[in-house]
Structure 1
């Protein structure tokens, strides 16, 4: 629609109850461009940035109308913040950057209002290079610089090494339970593995490596579930990003197979599995 106003020609578009110049798409692009200048790397802007639009030379614009306009333009809102590009991946990163604290998969699912199941969302988090698992249940942003969660066996090993090769077993268990939200009985179980020994309440690392495969996985700081002692498989948690690692293990005789949907042991998380073949 072309109108004449004070001898100047300008255009505007009317659509879905909105009127914008020069067009709906043009106005949406302009808003995103202006707001993106104040956003963080995850496309998050404080709602306070909208105050610059609430008063113009022509007329006042209410904050409510601006928020409706942004929602119409595809933006999302979360705890007094605007998320400019709310795709699933972008929403996860944006919410974590707003919360600035570790969050469980369930919490993230509620925050981003997704209909994806927990297993699917876990796979998204695992494959995203910007996110890192921080403990048994919680995820965070890699930029926070927090130490990633690894296998419990590796956590015990690292804790002992950082204490000079030996430490009080009770203190080790208490610290790991507190730092990583682990089950105390589970930590006790791993402390009794052949890799470790306890003498008079002091735990240390046994000389030699009892399982070369687990040693390789621990060296690469991978999360795994070893169910071989129950007749099951050894599962390494992760997606296609572990392809190079699995090719390396294949050359050492460990042929892992990938399952995007994981298994009951992994609670639906993507994983690679290997089961030793019996001798005939």
Structure 2
């Protein structure tokens, strides 16, 4: 074959030249990204891979790469091939727990921050925020993992919590601001006092039967709390309840919890009035 036809022939059989190497070029943007990483030989960001594959959506490609077993995060922004054997970046809290365990169960917070910044590019401010997660105990400048048997002291004081109102017979209501995130089904962090009123400890979740003002059942509402989250307890999606009540962006969705019957009643409060 003439030299000037080689490139055309290789492309015709499904190959593509990456730098100085010809690779099999799949229609899958994930497969293309894996091929690019293999040739480049060093971690790359989702933005860089999106540009080189032409996938068009950084967010979509990033998520699909996270789900592919051939690829792993190596720091906060970069991805590489699992076959390279590099340390894997998971969540900040999981990284903290791993380093603490590897160093005998306790480590100075400053040492932990320096290690995670050097190896995984975790900002010290981010690490300091995660030290407040229930999974950790900080004493005298050292941090350790909280034992499962150790009780976490929940701040149950409701006074001054915006949108929270105590009612009779252990019931209370809480107003959720309806916005784009609520209407698309995202969960939401809520004040720790709500967990205190429900007797909810970190690492657990409660499921409440949801009913409208006419007492029709509209699904359920989950109140949970991850041990490794520094954001406190959360509500699961209340999209179904918001849509059922005709709530729009800017309204409030009033949730009235009854811990005895494990029910939550909901109603729309128009335009936050």
Shorter-chain TM-score category? 0.5 to 0.7
Q: Distance in 1 between matches of 2:133 and 2:118?
A: 21
Query: How many pairs are equivalent?
Result: 174
Secondary structure at the counterpart of residue 194 of structure 1: coil
Moved beyond 4 Å, runs of 4+: 251-257, 275-278
Could you list the per-position Cα deviations for residues 7-63 of structure 1 after superposition, in whole angstroms to 9, with x for gaps in the alignment? xxxxxxxxxxxxxxxxxxxxxxxxxxxxxxxxxxxxxxxxxxxxxx6xxxxxxx22x
| Aligned equivalent of 1:47 | none
8 Å CA contact 2:73, 2:88 repeated in 1: yes
Shift of 1:83: 1.6
| Aligned equivalent of 2:56 | 116
Structure of higher CA gyration radius: 1
The structure that is strand-richer by fraction is 2
Which runs of 5 or more structure 2 residues have no equivalent in the other structure? 153-185, 193-202, 209-219, 223-234, 239-254, 259-273
| 1:228 and 2:170 are equivalent in the alignment | no
Which runs of 5 or more structure 1 residues have no equivalent in the other structure? 1-52, 54-60, 212-224, 232-248, 258-272
| Aligned equivalent of 1:76 | 16
8 Å CA contact 1:76, 1:82 repeated in 2: yes
The partner residue of 1:198 within 111, 119, 138 is 138
8 Å CA contact 1:134, 1:180 repeated in 2: yes
Secondary structure at the counterpart of residue 279 of structure 1: strand
Could you list the per-position Cα deviations for residues 105-161 of structure 1 after superposition, in whole angstroms to 9, with x for gaps in the alignment? 01111222x132111101221232221222221212122233432221111111111
Alignment root-mean-square deviation, CA: 3.5
Calculate the TM-score normalised by the size of structure 2. Answer: 0.54
Q: Distance in 1 between matches of 2:207 and 2:20?
A: 54
8 Å CA contact 2:30, 2:61 repeated in 1: no
Q: Distance in 1 between matches of 2:67 and 2:221?
A: 18
Distance 1:97 1:256, change over 3 A: farther
8 Å CA contact 1:194, 1:210 repeated in 2: no
| Aligned equivalent of 1:130 | 70
Distance 1:181 1:83, change over 3 A: same
The structure that is helix-richer by fraction is 1
